[in-house]
Structure 1
Amino acid sequence: MIFTPLSIAGVWRVALSPVSDDRGFFARSFCAAEFAAQGLPAVFEQSSLSRNTRAGTLRGLHYQDAPHAEAKFVRCVRGALMDVVVDLRPGSATRGKWIGERLSADEGTGLYIAPGLAHGFQTLVDDTDMLYQITPAFRPGFGAGVRWNDPAFGIEWPLPNPILSERDAQYPDWSA
């Protein structure tokens, strides 16, 4: 695996290192020792799958409050999406900044997202699945979010008129 830190501290692009032949390829999608060597969690308590049937589906921006703030390792395993991370951490040099990365099943790249960062994505094609590995496991009552189109962030979502859940549509604007 190839680990590349992105412009927000605590966000890493994790690319596959495939071994290919005429049948296709084989690649590790997670290795505890390689994550630990980067100072990242080597144990994830929960895995979850987000299935999205329609292009334009937007999920987020979500995070889990302390003391159960979560790290996530996400990968698109079917279809394609734009993954977005927003830094909400007090004292961070990039607080209020966002980054977006296109993830696709064909490419296989994942993102590691540190605790304290809000996360969301918008599907680019129909039938897109996102696999999450999360630490710690989700704790009811600690889930939170900020509005997907909060002008404080100025996120450039790729598709207009997103398909939103009622919960995601009602998240408040961020208050720095």
Structure 2
Amino acid sequence: MKVLWAMAALAASSMAPGAALAAASSTTTVTAVRPDSVAQALNNLGYTAEMAKDANGDPLINADIGGWQAALMFYECNDKTHDGCQSLQFVANFTPEKTFSAEDAVKFMRNTRFASVSLDKDQAVTMTWDVVTGKGIDLEVFSNSVDMFRSAMDSLGTAVFK
């Protein structure tokens, strides 16, 4: 599984995360079945998203969301053709500059509804955020998920960096 290490500055981009949403059609559907729709939605929301493939051949999006590097992993894809994916997982990895314990991770997850945080043996911190899209979700719903993930990255970044 390919993931990116977030060492981005805490400064958020100047564009409001949902500002581009008004410019997009309210009928736009975002779905893991069409990975390009996910990348396009992120770009339309003012973020950077580049399509790639993971080590298994499944789609992968490398993204810059509010100054943080993240990867969007695709799950429940066809094992042979690597298409027809049903869900996404946003992934952000941090190499902390200050102590972040297992107790800190539990506290963070209690206060951050959809986030899952784990610590590696070398103290690296990984946050994941799952989104089931099935055949499609509305752009506004996707935008809300991205906004919440960005906010969680901001909070976790504050907790792990000086």
**Shared fold per TM-score greater than 0.5:** no
More helix by share: 2
More strand by share: 1
Structure 1-normalised TM-score? 0.22
